[in-house]
Amino acid sequence: MAQSGWWLVMRGWKKYEVGRSIILMKKIKFGLDIAVIIFVIIGLSGCLTDNEVSSSVRSEEKFQWKLVTAWPPNLPINHDTVEKFAEDVATMSQGRLKITVYAGGELIPALQTFDAVSQGSVEMGHGAAYYWAGKIPEAQFFSTVPFGMTQNGAWAWIYGGDGLDLWQELYKPFGVVPFPLGNTGIQMGGWFNKKIEKIDDLKGLKMRIPGLGGKVLAKAGGNPVLYDASEVYSALERGVIDATEWVGPLHDVRMGLDRAAKYYYFPGWHEPGTQLELIINEEAWNSLPEDLKVIVKAAAASASLYMFGQSEVLNAEAFNLLKEKQHVEILEFPPQVLSYLSGFTEEVMLEEASNNEKFDKVLKSYQKFRDKRKDFEQVTDRAYKKALEDR
């Protein structure tokens, strides 16, 4: 207690602490208790800092933010999820934080989402980390890794391991704060205009495929290119590309990919559990009161579960319809092709790590976490799936 506080106690006042308040009481001659609740001079006691005082009172300041996405307008699941996120934030904050969502191309080009958030042109964005691989190669771990962990493992690493800390550390130099928002689950292998029966069939193949999967395809002799969603169908239909992956049956059919190519392959070796991201301009994030920050994080987590659930249900329904189409052949990649691609993945990882300390740091964290849960996964997920197959 500061000197003035001690002076009051020495004068016969009694000091009580109730929660974050200090109450001084003294008996006066009328036999009544007088209570003085110290709010203004609470700093004299040294018990509560100015920051603690301000954070204990809910700010009534209101915020109007913009969120841009890497998705076309009204893209099922992706766009729906982001709209749900914005609605949940508005509801939970009682209108103190309102977010207007803009699809790719409505305010800025889809693949410029990260730059717009980094530069402060908008406060928020939604996309996938492998879209900014040219700027932050190691960020690709926070979208997906070929032959890597599925959604279960990815979420465990991000939420239960050091994944989120590393992710935020990577984005900090760009003035961006990332959080998970959505996961597609295991994707399909993509649409091809010719059968893939051996690894040599990938040589010279021009395919729309992002991230580390694209580098693996290049190792196999293919030519990876990147288009945003609005360009994929026309590129495949006109023969500008020979193959494309996107997400899964629902999106693929909505985009008409089944009309542009005949062969639909699985599994999605390149994207076994693709994590999507909410990115926030750091200065804007720091301007929010603590309770609004908690609301944003809670709404993002809720939206992640929503997206995964919608993906599983709607993709299953669309897949059943695709099986009935006579002009579509649904094929599994031959084991030999997958084996080669897995080997090329290891080569790509080692090459990237040898040239990039940050990539190497994230790779080691990812591998350590994957290996730590491998034995347990063997007796849970994998054992259960095997039991179903053997029935």
pLDDT reported for residue 126: 98
pLDDT tens for the 391 residues of the chain, in order: 444 443 333 345 444 444 444 444 444 333 333 333 333 333 333 443 444 434 445 668 999 999 999 999 989 999 999 999 999 999 999 999 999 999 999 999 999 999 999 999 999 999 999 999 999 999 999 999 999 999 999 999 999 999 999 999 999 999 999 999 999 999 999 999 999 999 999 999 999 999 999 999 999 999 999 998 889 999 999 999 999 999 999 999 999 999 999 999 999 999 999 999 999 999 999 999 999 999 999 999 999 999 999 999 999 999 999 999 989 999 999 999 999 999 999 999 999 999 999 999 999 999 999 999 999 999 999 999 999 988 8
- The per-residue pLDDT for range 334-355, each reduced to its tens digit, is 999 999 999 999 999 999 999 9
Distance CA 71, CA 49 (A): 45
Whether the bond between 272 and the residue before it is cis, its omega within 30 degrees of 0, is no
Structural domains of the chain, with CATH: 3-55 (no CATH), 63-183+277-312 (3.40.190.170)
pLDDT reported for residue 58: 62
Does the pTM of the predicted model rise above 0.85?
Answer: no
pLDDT reported for residue 229: 86
Distance CA 94, CA 63 (A): 11
8 Å CB contact between 337 and 199: yes
Beta strands across the sheet bearing 190-192: 223-225, 206-208, 243-244, 190-192, 263-266, 329-332
CA triple 142-147-151, angle to 5 deg: 50
Beta-carbon contacts of 112 under 8 Å, excluding residues fewer than 6 positions away, are: none
pLDDT reported for residue 170: 98
Distance CA 25, CA 12 (A): 9
User: H-type helices in the chain, by residue range?
Assistant: 3-10, 50-55, 78-92, 113-119, 151-155, 163-171, 211-219, 229-237, 249-254, 257-260, 282-287, 290-322, 335-355, 357-372, 374-379, 381-389
Give residue 85's identity as a one-letter amino acid code.
F
